[in-house]
Structure 1
């Protein structure tokens, strides 16, 4: 297994004022390589589509902000419900699917106007709706507190369903104390899902009916695994408190994989998840080890894709 450490990306020094364009660091292509987020925002999720905009959710109050990756302009597109906005994914219609954390819900937001298109009450028991993936004609949400996925089936025109479908997790995964199923991504063949269990560091192949099989990592693990990102047959796992992106080469059906690199960076401060734009990965620094106050500074940073 090789280990690669990327050069430090210097974070922006000036705080973002909503609607303003702060001083930022840029790549040679002109997109930002780091930028400040609003003080006290407590970011966790990030989503980037085909256009140069990054969307972030607040675990403090659920606000959704958009940052221009060229201009640095930051604005709130949706006022949160007062409960968290965690994992985020954009579809081709530029709708944002939002995991609602301890609120036990999911939301779908039109990023053009900030309107909430639909809200889904997924759980009435204590829960932690943590992340979301778009694959297999559906949006899939994890619950870190309960062994279940929630599926929003989408028809060919992308119509949102009236209600979510509950898919219990069975087989190899066993829930324990701490954060369980967290990040979620499609398999390389697009026929199933990959889920990381944060507290054990295990990855699971998950059929659409909820049956789980542990992915053989040949003795390795990704403890504190959070956000996942798939590129071809390569899976990238953000290990939040380890300040690490782990690169795993999977076989075609994602039943086995080998760790081929671990990337750290001096700008990481407990990054949670990952999105891609212009040959770079962007990560929000959640700063879980720093006391969260209304004035705590937050930022997002980027590194070249390993």
Structure 2
């Protein structure tokens, strides 16, 4: 049984959206704290607004985390040094922000979930920049995103396809890339979920949540080759992926664990190194790295998803 720590004090979403962000001093010190390098002591747990329904998180070269909301597509920005945050982008009814990735172009690339879209948002101002219609049909779920060369690649959990959206502030055509090879789409369950680039930068790694498999995908042909797992039977409930060199971190949400693998040079084999657990994990969905830490959002899928439900993000050492 996982013992849950008491939840830190957090602002209500109504107060945040109204511009009156409550003081975070107590919250910034909630949980254990560790020094990040030789700098000041940074919090390892910080709150999100009540009812936020988080899932995606991204961090760039600066110490700011951006976290999306499944409730209305809003985006929250937190200063990792203090734990203080604010709503950067307010979203709108009917929208969702599932996967997030911050580009060097200053844009946040946002997976739209069930509405079948991908959006870009200015990471500095929070202003919306573009919306791309990835699929016109219903029954799709645009889940996660990775930036690789000139495109942002999005997964679709209910269809065997990746979508390549041109990067930057200009236009361009969206590319639909069907998955072939070893990939077998299963009906009625979450298939493709998290996505990262391969160590050689020539393709992507996709986690298939059900039944818990990893695939290397060639972005030229769409061929998906299953990655052999050594020391682990599966990565069931695999959600967010983080790659640091040839080390792959797999967030297995409902298992409250991050599984760490060593990849071979061709990303054809993943060897289990260790598993990371923490009593503060409460169905972590996705993760992002900053310096020597991994930051994860607790989606709390097994808890009531109401406007009063509390949410946090936590950090663990790499």
- Residue in structure 2 matched with residue 79 of structure 1 by the alignment: 90
Q: Can you give the 5+ residue segments of structure 2 that lack an aligned partner in the other structure?
A: none
Q: Deviations over 1:144-170 (max 9, x none)?
A: 00111000134xxx4443331111111
| Closer, same or farther: CA 202–14 of 1 in aligned 2, 3 Å | same
Q: Equivalent residue for 2:111?
A: 99
Matches within 5 A, 1:104-123: 104-123=116-135
Deviation, structure 1 residue 10: 5.8
List per-residue Cα deviations over 1:29-62 (Å, max 9, x = no partner).
3222100100000000001111111101001111
Q: Quick one: distance in 2 between partners of 1:9 and 1:94?
A: 36
Deviations 1:194-237 (A, max 9, x none): 00000111000100021101001136210000000000001100
Structure 1 unpaired stretches of 5+: 1-7
- Cα distance in 2 between the residues matched to 1:231 and 1:20: 35
Q: Which residue of 1 aligns with 2:101?
A: 89
Contact between 2:166 and 2:172, CA under 8 Å: does it hold in 1? Answer: no
* Count of aligned positions: 295
**Cα distance in 1 between the residues matched to 2:314 and 2:155:** 25
The corresponding residue for 1:28 is 35
Partner of residue 264 from structure 2, selected from 227, 251, 254:
251
**Mapped partners of 1:139, 1:105: distance in 2:** 13
Q: In the superposition, relative to structure 1, how do residues 104 and 120 fare at CA in structure 2: closer, same or farther (>3 Å)?
A: same
Could you tell me which of 151, 160, 168 is aligned with 2:178? 168
Higher relative contact order (CA 8 A, sep 6+): 1
Q: Distance in 2 between matches of 1:269 and 1:283?
A: 10
| More moved, 257-266 vs 10-19 | 10-19
What TM-score, normalized to structure 1?
0.92
Query: Residue 312 of structure 2 aligns to a residue in which SS?
Result: strand
Match of residue 213 from structure 1 = 225
How far the C-alpha of 1:272 sits from its partner, in A, is 0.4
CA distance in 1, matches of 2:7, 2:282: 14
Shift of 1:74: 1.7
Q: Which runs of structure 2 are paired with 1:94-243 in the superposition (5 Å)?
A: 94-125=106-137, 126-154=139-167, 158-176=168-186, 177-208=188-219, 209-218=221-230, 220-243=233-256
Distance between the aligned counterparts of 2:84 and 2:172, measured in 1?
Answer: 35
Q: Report the 3-state secondary structure (helix = DSSP H, G, I; strand = E; otherwise coil) of the residue aligned with 2:87.
A: strand
TM-score, structure 2 normalization: 0.89
SS of equivalent residue, structure 1 residue 31:
strand
Output the aligned Cα RMSD. Answer: 1.6
